[in-house]
């Protein structure tokens, strides 16, 4: 049985969490002296000194908005102070409102279809088995959308751990391709893998599954029948790249820069049953591992998505 952790371990953990926070975070004692602060706070606030009183003007410098959270630690009173840059809160609220509106819009369509199918099933002489089967498809689509929204929220909040050392990519890629084989065959898409057994990527296995799965699914849904989708692994002096390309119908050049936006779909994909979040999730996973994701036209026709990771990771 594992021994309980000491109070000192809790203190060290709390300090580490504050130190590595991406936000401007300062801890003050009851006399407004600085107990500790995040690295970003020390880099952003000139005159911030541990053990000294935090000048009030630093809290509002440049129009920053302080958020203070008092709490009790044993017999001590302390205050946790968060500082946001001007406009950050408004920008966040605007982004959240836009995302909520987009999710509501995307849910409204399958819900309307579901209601129409259920109402049709009540009509005399209706083929109830067929209508119920189609209704189940709509319910599944709603479930997929909710799952993707929750997963994207975890990525953006940092709760989903993306990178944890390096893993061999080929076993994960082979598993994803194997699981997608039946869907690909039904869509008339041939799946290929070009990757060496020693190729590593700085992603957890689960996250690599998410990236490859979304990119392969994107090709199955949108590339069209009679095409080939290839998952390639490339390593050179510039770093490592995971490339998923197809020779299908492709995407208009004007649409390429927008493919990673939430819910954005090129014209030929607007009637698809996808959630519209797959490529947005790919971008967030890759970015969280210090990589970049780029969509380009495949020479000769089709779409290529390249996920690049720096050398030496």
Give the pLDDT confidence of 191-216 residue by residue, as tens digits.
999 999 999 998 888 888 888 988 99
Matching CATH number, 89-157, of 3.30.365.10, 1.20.272.10, 1.10.150.120, 1.10.287.130: 1.10.287.130
When pLDDT is averaged across residues 267-291 and rounded to a whole number, the result is: 69
Share of the chain above pLDDT 90, in %: 20
- pLDDT score for 241: 94
- pLDDT score for 175: 92
Residue 260: CB atoms within 10 Å: 20
| The token pair that represents 152 in the structure block | 């994207």
pLDDT band with cut points at 50, 70 and 90 for residue 236:
confident
Give the pLDDT confidence of 119-138 residue by residue, as tens digits.
888 888 889 888 888 888 87
pLDDT band with cut points at 50, 70 and 90 for residue 50:
confident
pTM of the model: 0.55
CA gap 182, 227 in Å, rounded:
15
CA gap 277, 145 in Å, rounded:
8
Q: What are phi and psi of 123, to 5 degrees?
A: -75, 150
Q: What is the mean pLDDT of the chain?
A: 78
Report domain extents, the chain: 7-84, 89-157, 167-310
pLDDT band with cut points at 50, 70 and 90 for residue 269:
very low
* Bridge partners, residue 65, by sequence: 84
DSSP string, 118-157: HHHHTSTT--HHHHHHHHHHHHHHHHHHHHHHHHHHHHHH
**Which residues make Cβ contacts (< 8 Å) with residue 290, sequence separation at least 6?**
163, 202, 309, 310, 313
**Which residues make Cβ contacts (< 8 Å) with residue 113, sequence separation at least 6?**
138
Q: Is pLDDT of 217 > 60?
A: yes
Q: Is pLDDT of 270 > 50?
A: no
The top-level CATH class assigned to 7-84 is alpha beta
Matching CATH number, 167-310, of 3.20.20.105, 3.30.565.10, 3.40.47.10, 3.40.50.1950: 3.30.565.10
When pLDDT is averaged across residues 160-188 and rounded to a whole number, the result is: 85
């Amino acid at each position: 049985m594992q021994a309980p952790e000491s109070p000192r371990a809790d203190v060290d953990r709390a300090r580490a969490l504050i130190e590595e926070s991406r936000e401007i975070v300062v801890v003050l004692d009851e006399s407004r002296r600085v107990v500790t602060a995040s690295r970003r706070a020390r880099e952003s606030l000139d005159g911030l000194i541990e053990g000294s009183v935090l000048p009030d003007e630093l809290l509002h410098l440049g129009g920053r908005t302080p958020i203070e959270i008092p709490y009790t630690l044993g017999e001590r009173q302390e205050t946790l102070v968060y500082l946001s840059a001007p406009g950050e809160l408004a920008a966040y609220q605007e982004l959240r409102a836009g995302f909520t509106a987009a999710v509501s819009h995307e849910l409204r369509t399958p819900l309307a279809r579901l209601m129409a199918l259920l109402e049709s099933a009540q009509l005399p002489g209706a083929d109830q088995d067929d209508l119920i089967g189609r209704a189940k498809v709509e319910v599944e689509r709603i479930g997929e959308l909710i799952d993707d929204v929750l997963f994207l929220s975890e990525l953006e909040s940092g709760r989903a751990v993306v990178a944890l050392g390096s893993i061999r990519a080929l076993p994960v890629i082979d598993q994803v391709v194997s699981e997608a084989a039946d869907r690909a065959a039904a869509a008339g898409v041939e799946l290929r893998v070009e990757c060496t057994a020693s190729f590593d990527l700085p992603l957890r296995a689960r996250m690599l599954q998410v990236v490859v799965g979304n990119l392969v699914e994107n090709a199955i849904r949108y590339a069209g029948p009679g095409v080939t989708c290839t998952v390639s692994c490339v390593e050179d002096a510039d770093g490592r790249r995971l490339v998923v390309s197809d020779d299908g119908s492709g995407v208009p050049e004007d649409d390429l820069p927008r493919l990673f936006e939430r819910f954005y779909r090129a014209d030929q994909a607007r009637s698809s049953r996808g959630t519209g979040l797959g490529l947005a999730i790919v971008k967030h996973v890759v970015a969280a591992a210090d990589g970049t994701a780029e969509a380009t036209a495949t020479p000769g026709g089709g779409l290529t998505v390249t996920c690049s990771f720096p050398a030496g990771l």
